[in-house]
């Protein structure tokens, strides 16, 4: 009885992880588009893209460790 919630909680947090991965993928793509559209060299734009990229890959790595299927 005590361990019956374990599967439900794992499923809930896995769904939340997948949703977060999809959100960060969109943010990363938006940052790439903004960087491509910039005429001049801006460190702020580049750092925002790299930050979004690193967050996305960290979450993707976490999903791989948890063996979460992303559909």
Q: Supply 41's token pair.
A: 């060299």
Torsional class of 67: left (φ above 0), alpha (ψ -120 to 50), beta (otherwise): left
Q: What are the pLDDT digits (tens) for 8-64?
A: 888 899 999 999 999 999 999 999 999 999 888 889 999 999 999 999 999 999 999
CA dist 17 and 70 (Å) reads: 9
Residue 61 within a domain: yes
The single-letter DSSP state of residue 50 is: H
CA dist 16 and 56 (Å) reads: 14
- pTM, 2 dp: 0.81
Residue 47 within a domain: yes
Give the sign of the dihedral formed by CA 30, CA 54, CA 16, CA 22: positive
Residue 70 within a domain: yes
Residue 23 within a domain: no
Q: Are 17 and 66 in contact (CB under 8 A)?
A: yes
Residue 1 within a domain: no
How many structural domains does the chain have?
1
pLDDT for 23 equals: 96
């Amino acid at each position: 009885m005590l361990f019956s919630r374990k599967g439900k909680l794992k499923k809930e947090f896995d769904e939340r992880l997948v949703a977060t991965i999809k959100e960060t993928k969109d943010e990363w793509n938006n940052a790439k588009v903004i960087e491509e559209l910039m005429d001049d060299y801006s460190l702020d734009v580049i750092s925002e893209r790299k930050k979004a990229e690193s967050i996305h890959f960290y979450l993707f790595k976490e999903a791989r460790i948890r063996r979460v299927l992303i559909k």
